């Protein structure tokens, strides 16, 4: 049980005894004591001043004296204005460590059989290009959020909606037809998603040339974009696809098949997965029927050209296109269809969309439309809106082929990790297989940690060189610390030193050891808060703080050479528990930690 959870009912009873008032539990607020003051935990006294009819300092003094008298594990207290700082006895923390060390799933809650179901959608790639750096942030956030919510007791379904239809897909298909000469992944040696992406860039190159030609003939840029032969052919291809044209559908299936094989390879490298994959080609028809249903009920309206719209002006927004004049659907229609099918298939309690912040308006509209269509869950959907990721050189553009390819980046990270580890002598004495595995772990760990340690709602710049550093707030620093602890524990076993349990909870311990145990005890609260805020960054930065403190401890204190058996046992138990917390915490970020380096 957490310290604040233990103290809350005691404080409530004291307030009742002293002032004859039964406080609401929410008014009893504890926080970690600030470093400049003595104490471990601080009670905020201001909510009780009115009932006490005394100054904040006098109120805190009265509550502090009563707590010191009533609670045997409180060692002392001090008052700073309306804050009551409590110092907790060392043996309390040692008992906590003993319980934590013997706990099987410390910090996490396994979902029960009747757990509420949360569906988390992430990745959502288009089948006209390979995954890039932006997709990497999306996938890492989606996977980590899923693991964090699972650790908070939710039943999780990880899902992916593949954007496998639409004008952008037709652009790649048309360019392949015109310029591909029958090229395939096998004949070219390219991954399928890379090959299809190549023709998306090819389309854009020729399309821009046509626009320039038409502008030279006197057309405005806007008209040239509409009249260019290539875009008209792509639009015609989309219409034929929607009409079920056999030749177009066969080409579409073939090229999408190439892309899916490529995606699967990248997902595997990245260490992310899905429980259910939806395809827009399957869900958009459901969306169209829902829109037509809404039209029949006058929820939506039709313009003279046959297009269907939603008027959201009463909701403070504008009008939203749902079906084009030619009957083809838009992204919003597809999302309505996908949502409908999902809720028919799963008893979803909470639906979370992991999508970049450029889509904030889209999900605001989707929520309103689903609500208007009578879906109770419409208002409750969560758009986990995250910031964009850029490189030091600036933004990336898919059409121009200037994106950072996910596969290339992963390969570069692993190679850099191998070179850096080799230079620092961290791979000495390991087999080729171990070296390859550690380079993979460290390279991916550097990439994932650098991205996930940032507040997800903020834009970020990913710097590959900064991420692979064995010092500072990086994945490799944390991974190396885990390996270092494991090395200490192996040596203890070789020397026949037993550290299976904490033997003495009445020891006098240092401030550093006391602080480390308190940091360990915070882990469940961090996991809980990360779930509430949907923030892997909270876990990443907590793990870094823990590892930073441990490394200071490691350099200042002897462990295996400590002559006092009980102290040596304590330090080994602290080390082993921290290694376990590192492994669990990094696991929630989708990061592996090596046993040796």
- Looking at residue 329, its pLDDT comes to 80
Short-list 27, 82, 74, CA closest to 54: 82
- Looking at residue 502, its pLDDT comes to 94
Interstrand relation of 460-461 and 308-311 (parallel, antiparallel or unpaired): unpaired
Mention every residue, 6+ apart, whose C-beta is less than 8 A from residue 233: 174
3-state secondary structure string, 428-440?
CCCCHHHHHHHHH
- Looking at residue 242, its pLDDT comes to 86
| Residues 459, 390 contacting (CB under 8 angstroms) | yes
| Residues 107, 151 contacting (CB under 8 angstroms) | yes
Structure tokens at 165: 């239809």
Q: SS3 of 146, please?
A: helix
- Looking at residue 173, its pLDDT comes to 97
Residue 364 burial class via C-beta count within 10 angstroms: exposed 0-12, middle 13-18, buried 19 and up: middle
User: How many other CB atoms are there within 10 angstroms of residue 506's CB atom?
Assistant: 9
- Looking at residue 34, its pLDDT comes to 92
DSSP states of 299-335: SSEE-TTS-EEEE-GGGTS-EEEEE-TTS-B-HHHHH
Measured CA to CA, the distance from residue 291 to residue 473 in angstroms comes to 49
Measured CA to CA, the distance from residue 590 to residue 595 in angstroms comes to 16
Beta-bridge mates of residue 160: 277
Count of alpha carbons within 13 angstroms of residue 553, beta-carbon side: 26
User: Which helix H or strand E contains 351, and what residues bound it?
Assistant: strand 348-356
Residue range(s) occupied by CATH 3.30.1360.70 in the chain? 3-88
Protein fold of 407-588: Isoleucyl-tRNA Synthetase; Domain 1 (1.10.730)
Measured CA to CA, the distance from residue 124 to residue 156 in angstroms comes to 18
Measured CA to CA, the distance from residue 507 to residue 523 in angstroms comes to 23
Measured CA to CA, the distance from residue 488 to residue 32 in angstroms comes to 31
Low-confidence ranges of the chain (pLDDT < 50): 395-401
3-state secondary structure string, 35-46?
CCCCCCEEEECH
Beta-bridge mates of residue 320: 310
- Looking at residue 393, its pLDDT comes to 66
| Residues 28, 12 contacting (CB under 8 angstroms) | yes
Which class would CATH give 122-390? alpha beta
Residue range(s) occupied by CATH 3.40.50.620 in the chain? 122-390
User: How many other CB atoms are there within 10 angstroms of residue 324's CB atom?
Assistant: 15
| Residues 462, 475 contacting (CB under 8 angstroms) | no
Short-list 579, 586, 595, CA closest to 520: 579
| DSSP for residue 2 | -
Residue range(s) occupied by CATH 1.10.730.10 in the chain? 407-588
Measured CA to CA, the distance from residue 18 to residue 29 in angstroms comes to 18
Per-position b or e across 585-595, b if 16+ CB within 10 A of its CB: bbbbbbbbbbe
Protein fold of 3-88: Gyrase A; domain 2 (3.30.1360)
User: How many other CB atoms are there within 10 angstroms of residue 102's CB atom?
Assistant: 13
């Amino acid at each position: 049980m957490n310290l604040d959870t233990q103290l809350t009912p005691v404080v409530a009873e004291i307030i009742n005894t002293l002032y004859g008032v039964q406080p609401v539990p929410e008014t009893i607020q504890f926080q970690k004591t600030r470093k400049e003051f003595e104490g471990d935990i601080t009670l905020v006294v201001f909510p009780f001043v009115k009932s006490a009819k005394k100054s904040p300092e006098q109120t805190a003094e009265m509550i502090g004296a009563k707590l010191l008298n009533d609670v045997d594990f409180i060692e002392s207290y001090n008052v700073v204005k309306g804050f009551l700082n409590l110092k907790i006895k060392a043996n309390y923390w040692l008992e906590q460590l003993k319980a934590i060390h013997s706990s099987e799933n410390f910090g996490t809650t396994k979902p029960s059989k009747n757990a509420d179901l949360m569906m988390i959608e992430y990745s959502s790639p288009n089948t006209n290009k390979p995954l890039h750096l932006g997709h990497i942030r999306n996938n890492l956030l989606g996977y980590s959020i899923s693991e964090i919510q699972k650790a908070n007791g939710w039943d999780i379904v990880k899902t992916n909606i593949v954007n496998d239809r639409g004008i952008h897909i037709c652009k790649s298909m048309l360019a392949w037809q015109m310029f591909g000469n029958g090229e395939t992944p096998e004949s070219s040696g390219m991954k399928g998603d890379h090959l299809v992406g190549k023709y998306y860039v090819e389309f854009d190159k020729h399309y821009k040339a046509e626009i320039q030609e038409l502008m030279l003939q006197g057309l405005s840029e806007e008209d040239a974009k509409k009249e260019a032969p290539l875009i008209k052919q792509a639009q015609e291809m989309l219409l034929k696809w929607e009409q079920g044209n056999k030749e177009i559908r066969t080409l579409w299936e073939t090229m999408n098949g190439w892309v899916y094989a490529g995606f699967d390879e990248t997902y595997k490298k990245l260490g992310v997965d899905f429980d259910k994959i939806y395809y827009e080609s399957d869900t958009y028809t459901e969306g169209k029927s829902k829109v037509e249903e809404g039209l029949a009920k006058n929820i939506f309206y039709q313009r003279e050209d046959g297009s269907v719209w939603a008027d959201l002006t009463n909701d403070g927004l504008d009008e939203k296109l749902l079906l084009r004049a030619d009957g083809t659907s838009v992204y919003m229609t597809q999302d309505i269809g996908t949502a409908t099918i999902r809720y028919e298939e799963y008893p979803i309690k909470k639906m979370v969309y992991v999508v970049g912040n450029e889509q904030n308006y889209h999900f605001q509209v989707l929520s309103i439309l689903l609500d208007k269509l009578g879906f109770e869950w419409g208002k409750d959907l969560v758009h986990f809106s995250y910031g964009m990721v850029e490189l030091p050189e600036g933004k990336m553009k898919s059409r121009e082929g200037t994106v950072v390819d996910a596969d290339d980046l992963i390969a570069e990270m692993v190679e850099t990790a191998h070179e850096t580890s080799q230079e620092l002598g961290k791979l000495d004495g390991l087999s080729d297989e171990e070296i390859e595995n550690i380079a993979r772990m460290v390279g991916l760990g550097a990439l994932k940690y650098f991205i996930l340690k940032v507040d997800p709602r903020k834009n970020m710049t990913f710097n590959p060189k900064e991420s692979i550093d064995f010092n500072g707030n990086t994945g490799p620093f944390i991974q190396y610390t885990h390996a270092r602890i494991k090395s200490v524990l192996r040596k203890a076993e070789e020397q026949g030193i037993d550290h299976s349990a904490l033997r003495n909870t009445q020891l006098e311990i240092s401030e550093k050891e006391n602080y480390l145990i308190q940091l360990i005890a915070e882990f469940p609260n961090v996991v809980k808060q990360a779930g509430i805020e949907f923030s892997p960054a909270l876990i990443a930065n907590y793990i870094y703080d823990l590892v930073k403190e441990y490394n200071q401890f490691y350099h200042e204190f002897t462990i295996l050479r400590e002559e006092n058996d009980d102290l040596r046992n304590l330090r080994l138990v602290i080390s082993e528990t921290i290694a376990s917390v590192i492994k669990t915490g990094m696991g929630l970020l989708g990061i592996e930690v090596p046993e040796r380096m």
